[in-house]
Chain A
């Protein structure tokens, strides 16, 4: 099993993957509790627009994805807090709109190729040194934010209005949270792929919730599940030459099903 770690590309993939598992599951706890699950899916598709622009224009796709993903997160949060439109409807519109836009950009630019495929479903072979630096750099800042404000974010997830009347800066923190989630999603598409990252963000927490434990323990369990699925999924990807996003997501779904069965009343 450890033979695969003798390859440089696998070391890079593991560093990036474990970092992403940590980021996705911790931010995912807040995403799920705030019922933002569909939003993470939408942002993943917006990130794809960034990837498309990057591939066609020759910029680093990951960087462009981060920028586009943040912009659409702000747009969604603005629409959510300022207009009373059904927020899931807004999200589906933006989700399919982004995908359509990404496909058109890629088609016009003639970039429909394997490279695009790896951004859709993740690939352990394609993680470069620059990607690892980008992921660790942006990722550390995001993680620091999540941990610093975890008690406030938890309170807001529990009851936004009560948090506000206790003097917590709800609007500001909501914007920061969606910004961080946007960054994490954009960073993750290298390893997990933009069509599959939503699952890695949401499912570990949903699985952890089945154990009916307090906040801290729920977050730890989700983190553990995410780390485990990434290690297991990337190993499968290595041995069977499968897209890593797909193997990671199937691993985490298996954990979810087991958790459901164990905790069935």
Chain B
């Protein structure tokens, strides 16, 4: 596979981010290509969320360059190609008036234009997204009444409804039990393999997913790219990163 000949989804060069005197990200560079399945790990406060916010133009970098589908962030218009699920997305306000379908339909809003109602294509995409995430039977339920694992699938379905090329998930597994997590990773793997959706996600559960992922980024102010996560547990960087022996990482469960 000659990855280098195609335009990367993200091209990041010498990216740094500073808040007042504090350097939060330093000289981070990487490329993400279509079809990849990448996990980002790192200690709390390491800058993982910040990196993703920079990629999504929610934060402005201090220096360095970000290109998205070959374009500078400020010139990029096709945001529907990106599906983003932020950290703590599943902790929705219990009283927010939204059914599962209301939320998934949001995924189509930016593509519909001002005057348009839901076209038959919109409806089909919303239906598809709910089907893929296995939440069709929940569609009329209020989101506030769902379990953490169910909400998580609703959030992904919303992101999927715009037919994105890449899914960016920030700790999607917070507050979700082990069984639901396994099922969730199964779904993500399927999206990646069968739908060719690129996946970039932040997690603390590296032991659980080591089999599926293609590459592993570790972020702790600086970034290190681990190209063979099968050898994950021997990656010295990972040990250094958390400052604990690597073997204990394999069983590390992160709960908030």
* Interface pair B58/A167, CB less than 8 Å apart: no
* Interface pair B80/A167, CB less than 8 Å apart: yes
Known contacts A162-B84, A167-B80; decide if A215 and B98 are in contact (CB<8 Å). yes
- Is B77 engaged at the interface, CB distance under 8 Å to the other chain? yes
| 7 A-B pairs with least C-beta separation | A167-B79, A218-B97, A214-B99, A167-B110, A166-B110, A155-B106, A165-B56
A166 to B77, CA, bound (A): 10
One digit per residue, 1 when the CB lies within 8 angstroms of any chain B CB and 0 when it does not, for chain A 65-94 equals 000000000000000000000000000000
A4 to B106, CA, bound (A): 46
Shortest distance in angstroms between B144's beta carbon and chain A's nearest beta carbon?
7
Known contacts A166-B79, A167-B77, A214-B142; decide if A161 and B96 are in contact (CB<8 Å). no
* Interface pair A155/B109, CB less than 8 Å apart: yes
**What residues of chain A lie closer than 8 Å to B46, measured between beta carbons?**
none
For window 212-237 of chain A, which residues contact chain B by CB distance below 8 Å? 212-215, 217-218
A155 to B86, CA, bound (A): 14
Interface size on B, residues (CB 8 A): 33
Known contacts A149-B114, A151-B112, A215-B102; decide if A165 and B95 are in contact (CB<8 Å). no
One digit per residue, 1 when the CB lies within 8 angstroms of any chain A CB and 0 when it does not, for chain B 178-209 equals 00000000000000000000000000000000
* Interface pair B86/A214, CB less than 8 Å apart: no
A161 to B58, CA, bound (A): 7
Main SS of the interface on chain B? mixed
Shortest distance in angstroms between A173's beta carbon and chain B's nearest beta carbon?
10
Specify the chain B residue showing the minimal Cβ separation from A151: B109
- Is A138 engaged at the interface, CB distance under 8 Å to the other chain? no
Known contacts A162-B86, A165-B58; decide if A213 and B97 are in contact (CB<8 Å). yes
**What residues of chain A lie closer than 8 Å to B147, measured between beta carbons?**
none
**What residues of chain A lie closer than 8 Å to B86, measured between beta carbons?**
159, 161-162
- Is A117 engaged at the interface, CB distance under 8 Å to the other chain? no
**What residues of chain A lie closer than 8 Å to B106, measured between beta carbons?**
151, 154-155, 158, 162-163, 166
**What residues of chain B lie closer than 8 Å to A212, measured between beta carbons?**
95, 97, 142, 144-145
Known contacts A161-B58, A214-B142; decide if A166 and B107 are in contact (CB<8 Å). yes
A158 to B97, CA, bound (A): 9
- Is B103 engaged at the interface, CB distance under 8 Å to the other chain? yes
**What residues of chain A lie closer than 8 Å to B97, measured between beta carbons?**
33, 208-209, 212-215, 217-218
A9 to B89, CA, bound (A): 52
- Is B162 engaged at the interface, CB distance under 8 Å to the other chain? yes
A26 to B96, CA, bound (A): 16
Q: Which residues of B contact A (CB under 8 A)?
A: 56-58, 77-80, 82, 84-86, 89, 95-99, 101-103, 105-107, 109-110, 112, 114-115, 140, 142, 144-145, 162
- Is A168 engaged at the interface, CB distance under 8 Å to the other chain? yes
**What residues of chain A lie closer than 8 Å to B115, measured between beta carbons?**
148
Shortest distance in angstroms between B108's beta carbon and chain A's nearest beta carbon?
9
**What residues of chain A lie closer than 8 Å to B77, measured between beta carbons?**
167
A218 to B102, CA, bound (A): 12
* Interface pair B109/A152, CB less than 8 Å apart: yes
Partner of B58, one of A151, A155, A164: A164
Specify the chain B residue showing the minimal Cβ separation from A214: B99
Shortest distance in angstroms between B71's beta carbon and chain A's nearest beta carbon?
14
Partner of B103, one of A149, A158, A163: A158
**What residues of chain A lie closer than 8 Å to B112, measured between beta carbons?**
151
Specify the chain B residue showing the minimal Cβ separation from A209: B95
Shortest distance in angstroms between B59's beta carbon and chain A's nearest beta carbon?
10
Specify the chain B residue showing the minimal Cβ separation from A149: B114
A214 to B84, CA, bound (A): 23
* Interface pair A166/B95, CB less than 8 Å apart: no
New A-B contacts (8) at CB < 8 Å, excluding given A33-B97, A167-B80, A212-B142: A152-B114, A159-B86, A162-B85, A214-B97, A214-B98, A214-B99, A214-B102, A215-B99
For window 13-55 of chain A, which residues contact chain B by CB distance below 8 Å? 33
A165 to B80, CA, bound (A): 8
**What residues of chain B lie closer than 8 Å to A209, measured between beta carbons?**
95, 97
Q: List 27 A-B contacts (CB under 8 A).
A: A33-B97, A148-B115, A151-B105, A158-B98, A159-B86, A161-B86, A162-B85, A162-B89, A162-B106, A163-B106, A163-B109, A165-B57, A165-B82, A166-B79, A166-B84, A166-B107, A167-B78, A167-B79, A208-B97, A209-B97, A212-B95, A214-B97, A214-B101, A214-B140, A215-B98, A215-B99, A218-B97
